[in-house]
Chain A
Amino acid sequence: MGKPLIMVSSVTYAMKGKQILNNAGIRCEIERTTKRDISNGCGYSLYVPKDTDEAEKILRENNIKIIGRTERSNSK
């Protein structure tokens, strides 16, 4: 599975994505994406420790704009 952080393009998509995943019974948290992971700087991610692939699929089906997936920073 791997890469449990799903990067999205805006805080609104992060909030909407969280709501969609929670409604689907998938636990997630919103985190700030580090600049290391996002080339254009400043963004939000959904941290989905379990069922990340399923979560990404659900988000895409609901037109949440996903930038990509990444690992969680070691400091977290």
Chain B
Amino acid sequence: MIYLDNSATTYPKPLKVRQAVASAMQTAANPGRSGHDLALMSSEQIFKTRKTAADFFHFSKEENVIFTLNCTMAVNMVLKGILKNGDHVVVSSLEHNAVMRPLEKLTQKGVSYTVAEVFPCDNDKTVNSFRQAINGKTKMIICTHASNVWGIKLPIERIAALAHEYGVLFAVDTAQSTGIVPIDLNNSHIDFLCTAGHKGLYGPMGTGILIVSGNTIPDTIIEGGTGTNSISFQQPEELPERFESGTPNYSGIVGLRAGIDFVNANKIENISKHEFTLIKHLYKELSKMPKVKLYMPEPSEEYFVPILSFNIDGTDSENVSSFLNKKGIAVRAGLQCSPMAHKMTGTLETGAVRISPSIFTKSSDIDYLVSVIKKI
């Protein structure tokens, strides 16, 4: 099978990730609970992953790295842990339902939001759009770093600076950019970074990260045992335990460290360059086919991450996906959980076929994809 659905989760996972997970399943005890050697060893493994993740994002506080099940959980923890009745939020017009659904739920509690339009390849207009959306009640700006449908990259450094200028919190969903675009938390005004562990970091599914990089600590949405301060019914204040009640996904977290090590060893710039080479080649080939509808300009590193979505005239995107599947090619069709992004391009009815490569994708894979599309 040719796997081109890496925006959903990267596949295959690197050998060292699989080995790390297997090893963690063989030798581990509940971390952060007991004092025996095996439990302490497991705690140490978790801490090493925290440090690896903190270093990856150029952040010095390992304890502010919180492990979650996925990016969605991290986003929920931020939104529901911060926003109260009367608060206003600004989001982009490209948000995933990971942001929109919890936000919509919060409207029942008196939270309101404004959608700031994103202008592909025009960061000035995009930033101005965010500026116009801020009002006196705005508590937070939360946006995706890169669209999971169109690959459009948002100028998050500028949006973070804008938020800082207005005294507004800034949270970013980097599910599609982590591992492709370098992110430096030390030199930004990002307050909360939410990301997946199983996409560009090549970790196992069921892993995500929330980094509390600002001074505001969210309230908790889940409470329970942390292995510390057990006599108290009050949730501990200390991070990360405050946000990690219950037994963690130990093998997943250990595997995540192997994934980050894999990305570091291969270097983000090399991974990005490889994937962009493939996507640009695909774009050129598809643009030669009159029946193929492309919605964005040719993706450049400045304004995009290497994701490409398209449609074929007269054919439902799910039917294209199904046809490709029969030819041994795995892609994602439909709305990709991002109706807002499709609204922008008028593709809410049709959806789109999304191609997302990884470091393991070969140029021959793209050539085969092109040859199959020609036959549709």
Contact = CB atoms under 8 A, between A and B. Distances in A.
Interface of A: 9-16, 19, 30-32, 39-44, 65
Nearest to B50: A12
Contact of A10 (B40, B44, B231, B238): B238
A52 B241 CA distance: 26
SS class, residues of chain B in contact with chain A: loop
B232 interface: yes
A40 B232 CA distance: 7
A14 to B, nearest CB: 8
B63 to A, nearest CB: 5
Contact of A9 (B35, B47, B229, B231): B229
Interface of B: 31-32, 34-35, 40, 43-44, 46-47, 50-51, 62-63, 226-232, 236, 238-241
A41 B231 contact: yes
A15 B229 CA distance: 17
Contact of B229 (A12, A32, A41): A41
A58 to B, nearest CB: 16
A32 B240 CA distance: 18
Nearest to B44: A15
Contact of B228 (A10, A15, A19, A39): A10
Contacts of B239: 12
Given A12-B241, A15-B43, A31 B50 contact: no
A13 B240 CA distance: 10
B46 to A, nearest CB: 8
A30 B227 CA distance: 15
A55 to B, nearest CB: 18
Given A10-B32, A12-B241, 7 more contacts: A11-B43, A12-B47, A15-B47, A40-B230, A41-B232, A43-B228, A43-B229
B44 A42 contact: no
Contact of B238 (A12, A32, A39, A42): A12
A64 B293 CA distance: 56
24 contacts: A10-B63, A10-B226, A10-B236, A10-B238, A10-B241, A11-B31, A11-B241, A12-B63, A12-B239, A12-B241, A15-B43, A16-B47, A19-B51, A30-B43, A31-B35, A32-B34, A32-B35, A39-B231, A40-B229, A41-B230, A42-B227, A42-B228, A43-B228, A44-B35
Contact of B40 (A9, A30, A40): A30
Interface centre among B35, B62, B228, B230 (most CB of A within 10 A): B228
Given A12-B47, A12-B241, A42 B229 contact: yes
A16 B62 contact: yes
A11 B228 contact: yes
Nearest to A65: B238
Contacts of B228: 9-11, 42-44
Given A10-B238, A11-B32, A65-B238, A16 B229 contact: no
